[in-house]
Amino acid sequence: NAGVTQTPKFQVLKTGQSMTLQCAQDMNHEYMSWYRQDPGMGLRLIHYSVGAGITDQGEVPNGYNVSRSTTEDFPLRLLSAAPSQTSVYFCASSYSRRGANYGYTFGSGTRLTVV
Amino acid sequence: DAKTTQPPSMDCAEGRAANLPCNHSTISGNEYVYWYRQIHSQGPQYIIHGLKNNETNEMASLIITEDRKSSTLILPHATLRDTAVYYCIVRRSSGSARQLTFGSGTQLTVLP
């Protein structure tokens, strides 16, 4: 199992450019999330999905779009990059069975710089 | 989800037990206590979770007080590789409440 795979690992964008951060998991987890982490701060939830075809907004959704067409993939799209979106982005997945909770598995992150 | 309070930093000598406290005085009956850690520049790593009973796995032990208003994560024999930010998170089990709300955590430094 590869776990949660994020690509790219590093990216530099110019203000106004768009791009998609990729996230894939091979564990058949129904829950997937995107977080951002600014320097010296904790993680903040951007968007999440509780299953294919279902997405919802988290704490800081503005400027980002997501879709969940398959269980495995949960891409995050930046529509028009801004310097305030310079951050490290983490994707995570999880599952539950018969009400039992299981911990999230996180990817290794995408370090994005917007200039 | 209930709010948690953790000390901003702690030191521990290598080989000794590291005891990381977390206060969650407003926890509800259906909320679990989760612990994650984040080693510098890496994605957070799940450690352990519990509802009301003490839990132990290969990484750590979780002690939850009887009134569930506080808990302690115990790393029995801390190593230099355990230096990380440790997050205590309280949340329910279902639907949108399954998302994680991270606070500022405790920076644990294991000293040689």
- Structure tokens belonging to residue A85: 């979106």
Residues 32-71 of A with CB under 8 A from B: 33, 35, 41-45, 48, 50, 56, 58-59
pLDDT value at B104 more than 80 = yes
DSSP 8-state secondary structure symbol assigned to residue B5: B
More confident residue, B98 or B60: B60
B86 touches chain A (CB under 8 A): no
Mean pLDDT of chain B: 90
pLDDT value at B95 more than 60 = no
pLDDT digits (tens, 9 = 90+) for B17-34: 999 999 999 998 888 899
- Amino acid in position A51: G
What DSSP string runs through A71-113? SSB--EEESS--GGG-EEEEEEEE-EETTEE---EE---EEEE
**Least CB–CB distance from A42: residue in B49, B93, B104:** B104
Cβ contact (<8 Å) for A103 and B46?
Answer: yes
Mean pLDDT over B11-16 rounds to: 97
Q: What is the pLDDT of residue B97?
A: 47
Share of chain B above pLDDT 70, in %: 93
pLDDT digits (tens, 9 = 90+) for B71-89: 999 999 999 999 999 999 9
Q: How remote is the C-alpha of B47 from its chain's centroid?
A: 8
- State the Cα–Cα distance between residues B58 and B64, nearest whole angstrom: 18
Measured between beta carbons, the chain B residues lying within 8 angstroms of A59 are 101
Question: Mutation test of the interface with chain B: which of A90, A101, A102, choosing the one with the most B Cβ atoms within 10 A?
Answer: A101
Measured between beta carbons, the chain B residues lying within 8 angstroms of A33 are 99-100
More confident residue, B100 or B43: B43
Measured between beta carbons, the chain A residues lying within 8 angstroms of B41 are 88, 109
**pLDDT tens per residue across all 115 residues of chain A:** 679 999 999 999 999 999 999 999 999 998 999 999 998 788 899 999 989 999 999 989 999 999 999 999 999 999 999 999 999 999 999 887 665 567 789 999 999 999 9
Min Cα separation A16/chain B (Å): 27
Q: What is the pLDDT of residue B40?
A: 87
